[in-house]
Amino acid sequence: MRIGDAAAAAGTTPRALRFYEERGLLPPPRRTASGQREYGPGEVARVRVIRELLALGLTVEDLRAVADRIGVLVENPQRQCGQPDSDVPGSGVVDRRLAALDAEIDRLTQLRARLALRTYRQP
């Protein structure tokens, strides 16, 4: 299928597909004789996984670090992410992102508490 159809099937835009390809998250697709990109169901499934991971708070840079392992989630969407392994590049991405989210939650909780102390509330 052409880029517009593949993007629609994955719930995104052709521009996003080109961006994922440029960033190394999506392998370069086959090309037609006229040079147009052509995608199959495997590429659409991969884009869906990429979008799900981005929606969960991972960044494009996080995914670049583990781009070679995105296919594992395409094949088995219910698979859990493994434990960090210091010998594997990009390992620990999820743990680092969780730690960053926890730090941001703590920061916002403290900010909220400080604001609540300064706010006059009517009984």
Report pLDDT for 23.
96
The number of residues in the chain equals 123
Q: How far apart are CA 5 and CA 20, in angstroms?
A: 16
Report pLDDT for 82.
55
Look over the chain and give the mean of its residue pLDDT values, rounded to a whole number: 88
Residue type, 99: A
R_g over Cα of the chain = 20
Encode pLDDT of 70-105 as tens digits: 988 888 777 666 555 544 445 688 888 899 999 999
Q: When comparing pLDDT for 45 and 91, which is higher?
A: 45
Could you tell me if 61 and 21 are in contact, meaning their C-beta atoms sit under 8 angstroms apart?
Answer: no
Q: How far apart are CA 58 and CA 69, in angstroms?
A: 14
